[in-house]
Amino acid sequence: EAGVTQFPSHSVIEKGQTVTLRCDPISGHDNLYWYRRVMGKEIKFLLHFVKESKQDESGMPNNRFLAERTGGTYSTLKVQPAELEDSGVYFCASSQGRDGIYEQYFGPGTRLTVT
Amino acid sequence: AQKITQTQPGMFVQEKEAVTLDCTYDTSDPSYGLFWYKQPSSGEMIFLIYQGSYDQQNATEGRYSLNFQKARKSANLVISASQLGDSAMYFCAMREGAANSKLTFGKGITLSVRP
């Protein structure tokens, strides 16, 4: 079974540019989450999809961030325009209930550097 | 207030010995779950162990066990018979309420295993 995949693994962009991150969850997982870790700080939640619906987007920092999950499969996270403080590692995770436990499986992350 | 607190500085342990990584949490929700993740230098987040708030027994998964002390709100990870491959950063995380809700992470603890 393939794990959670993320693309690209690294992205370096200039301030003001646009970047789109992609996440492919484990097949059959309805729940998809985005998190990010800014250098030296905790991993912070961004948002949660259940299938194609946004269940919780309380962690989205501002309207420069747009997440989509069309068709309830893969998800994209677009940052437009990027700012210096957006630099960090963006993780995607997916889960599906098993015996009532929704352990989240994480992807390898996308390291975003905004210069 | 911090929901997940991991205050230990970098931890060192001799190969084959046991080590305890501390985690305290804060929640008023009676239904919650506690997770431990391992992040090696390669960057991926690996799920290790889960403890539900209503679980009567401490969780165990191979060499990992969770010392769950509900009254003290602590969920320490115990790694027995440490191996060199255990050197990594370890994150404690909590979900509150619904089983598929977001995770809140601690800052993490770096563990180094000495040969």
d(CA A77, CA A42): 20
**B102–A56 CB contact, under 8 Å:** yes
pLDDT value at residue A40 = 78
Rg of chain B taking only CA atoms, in angstroms: 14
| pLDDT at residue A1, rounded to an integer | 65
Hey, is the C-beta of B64 within 8 angstroms of any chain A C-beta? Answer: no
Angle at CA of residue A66, ends B32 and A41, nearest 5°: 50
Instruction: Kindly report the backbone phi and psi dihedral angles of residue A98, in degrees, each rounded to the nearest multiple of 5, phi listed first.
Output: -140, 115
Contact B33 A33 (CB under 8 A): no
Cα–Cα distance, A16 to A18 (Å, whole number): 7
Burial class (CB in 10 A: 0-12, 13-18, 19+), A27: exposed
Length of chain B as a residue count? 115
Q: Tell me whether residues B105 and A101 touch, CB distance under 8 A.
A: no
The 10s digit of each residue's pLDDT in A6-52 is 999 999 999 999 999 999 999 999 999 999 999 878 899 999 999 99
Give me the half-sphere count of Cα atoms (radius 13 Å) on the Cβ side of residue B20.
9
Q: Are A29 and A96 in contact (CB under 8 A)?
A: yes
Identify the bridge partners of residue B111 per DSSP, sorted by sequence position: B11, B88
Is B102 close to A107, i.e. CB distance below 8 A?
no
pLDDT over 90 (residue A99): no
| Backbone region of residue B71 per phi and psi (left: phi > 0; alpha: psi in -120 to 50; beta: other values) | alpha
Cα(B54)–Cα(A101) distance, integer angstroms:
12
- A72 interfaces chain B, CB cutoff of 8 Å: no
Cβ–Cβ contacts within 10 Å for residue A24, how many?
A: 18
| CB contact (8 A) between residue B99 and residue A100 | yes
User: Which has the minimum average pLDDT: A99-103, B35-39, B60-64, B78-82?
Assistant: A99-103
Q: What is the pLDDT of residues A70-95, one digit of tens each?
A: 888 999 999 999 999 999 999 999 99
Closest Cβ–Cβ partner in B43, B100, B105 for A97: B100
Contact between B39 and B90 under an 8 Å Cβ cutoff? The reply is yes
Alpha carbons A109 and A33: distance in angstroms, whole number: 12
Q: Choose the closest CB to B103 out of A45, A55, A89.
A: A45
